[in-house]
A = this chain, B = another copy of it.
Amino acid sequence: MTKPLRIGVAGLGVVGTSLARLLHRQANALAMRAEGPVVLAAYSARSPRPERPEIAAARFWGDAVELAAKADVDVFVELIGGAGGVALAAVKAALGRGLPVVTANKAMLAAHGLELAALSEAHGAPLFYEAAVGGGIPVIKTLRESLAGNAIRRVSGILNGTCNYILSKMETERLPFDVCLAEAQRHGYAEADPTFDVGGFDTAHKLAILASLAFGSKIDAEAVSVEGIESITLDDLVAADELGYRIKLLGVAERTAHGVEQRVHPTMVGKGAPLAQTMGVLNAVSIDGDAVGELTLVGPGAGGDATASAVAADLVDVARGVRLPVFGRPAALLSDADRVPMQRHEGGYYVRLTVVDRPGAMGAIAARFGDRMISLEAIMQKRATKEWAEAGVVPVVLMTHGTTEASIRDALARTLEEGVVREKPQVIRIERDGV
Contact = CB atoms under 8 A, between A and B. Distances in A.
Contact of A277 (B26, B274, B294, B312): B274
A29 to B, nearest CB: 7
A32 interface: yes
Interface size of A as a range = 35 or more
A320 to B, nearest CB: 8
Contact of A299 (B30, B292, B306, B310): B292
Interface stretch (A48-56, A130-138, A158-166): A130-138
Given A32-B329, A141-B145, A145-B141, A292 B300 contact: yes
B26 A151 contact: yes
Nearest to A297: B297
Nearest to A316: B148
A311 to B, nearest CB: 8
A149 B317 contact: no
A337 B221 CA distance: 49
Contacts of A257: none
A1 B290 CA distance: 25
A179 B132 CA distance: 48
Copies of the chain in the assembly: 2
A360 B145 CA distance: 64
Q: Which of A22, A33, A329 has the most CB of B within 10 A?
A: A33
A145 B316 contact: yes
A298 interface: yes
Contacts of A317: 145
Contacts of A289: 309
B137 A295 contact: yes
Q: In this complex, which of A291, A316, A329 has the most chain B Cβ atoms within 10 angstroms of its Cβ?
A: A291
Interface string A103-141: 000000000000000000000000000100000111001
A149 B291 contact: no
Interface in A279-300: 289-300
A142 interface: yes
Contacts of A216: 29, 32
B299 A295 contact: yes
B298 A149 contact: no
